Amino acid sequence: MLEVTSLGSGSSGNALLIRTDTVTLLADCGVGVRRLTPALRTLGVGICDIDVVLVSHEHGDHIRELPRFVATGTPIVSTRGTASASNAPAGAWTASAPMRPIHVGHTEIVPVPVSHDAAEPCGFLVRTAAGAITVLTDLGSASEAAAEAIAESHLVVLEANHDEALLRRGPYPLRLQRRILSDAGHLSNAACAELLATALRYARTLPTIWLAHLSETNNRPNLARNAVARRLAACGLTLDIQTLPRRSVSETWSPGSASQSVAQLTLEF
C-alpha cells in the first residue's frame, strides 16, 4: 500500500500524510491542530498514529504543531540546521543529512537539499516498495538534486508559488517581492514548469504532478496548471496535473489512482 494525502498547502499551513503498509509519515506539521486533528480523523488516523514527522525547515507554516509531536514522543527527522532553528530539544529528533538515505521500516527517505531562506532546508524523496514520492514545497531555484528526485518519482509534490506578473503588480512591498523572486525565495509557475520539463525529459516513469504552496495573493490554480501544462506539452508530455487545496484535505493519491502519462488537461482561460 502507498497512499498520499495533502492536509493543507500554502502559507496558512503545510502537511502531507504518507502511508504504507508498515509506516505512517507526516511531511511537515504546519497545519494547526484544530484543522489537523479532524483532517486526520477523516482518513482514519490520529495524531498518535503518526510514526515519524519529517521537517523540511523551520518556518512556521511547516512546524506549527511541532511542539505537540515532540510532547507525544513522536520521532522527528530533520537536518541539524532545521532542528536548531526550530528549537527542537536534544533527543527529540534524528539528524538527517542531504542526499544521505535514512530508513523508517521498509521506507527510505532521502533529504534533498534546496535553496530557501532557512537554516538548512530540504525536500524529501520517499522511496517505498510501491513507488517513490518527491516533496519539494519551498525552493527558490531548481537544482540537479531536485531534478534527479523528480525523475524517479511516481508522485511529485512541487511548489508553484506565484505568477510573476501578478506578484510584480500586486500589493506586496518591493522588498518582499525581491525576497520571493530571489534564488532563496519561492518557485514561480514558470520556474516550476521548467524544472519539471528538464527533469522528466528522460524519465522512465511519468508521474502525477501536485502543484503546491500556491500564493493566495499572487497566483491562481488555473494559471499554475496552464503554465506547467503548456511547458510539458512543448516536450510532448501530457500528465495528470492538480493544484493542492489550501485549507482542506486533498484527494488521496495511490499508484493506481491516476492514469499516468495519458491524462489530458484542458487549458483554462
Residue 254 has pLDDT above 60, yes or no: yes
Instruction: Report the half-sphere exposure of 23 (CA within 13 A, side-chain side).
Output: 22
The mean of the pLDDT values for the chain is: 94
Per-residue pLDDT tens over the stretch 140-159: 999 999 999 999 999 999 99
Per-residue pLDDT tens over the stretch 26-66: 999 999 999 999 999 999 999 999 999 999 999 999 999 99
In this structure, what are the phi and psi dihedrals at residue 261, rounded to the nearest 5 degrees? Answer: 75, 0
- In three-state secondary structure terms, 113 is strand
> Is residue 174 very low, low, confident or very high in pLDDT (cuts 50, 70, 90)?
very high
Instruction: Sort 75 into a burial class: Cβ within 10 Å, 0-12 / 13-18 / 19+.
Output: middle
| DSSP assignment string, 139-186 | -SS--HHHHHHHHT-SEEEEE--B-HHHHHHSSS-HHHHHHHHSTTS-
What percent of the chain is modeled with pLDDT above 90? 91
Instruction: Find the range with the poorest average confidence among 82-91, 94-103, 201-210, 250-259.
Output: 250-259
Place of cell 521548467: 194
Q: Average pLDDT, stretch 113-134?
A: 97
- Look up residue 126 and give its three cell numbers: 520517499
**Ordered structural domains, the chain, with CATH:** 2-243 (3.60.15.10)
Residue 125 has pLDDT above 90, yes or no: yes
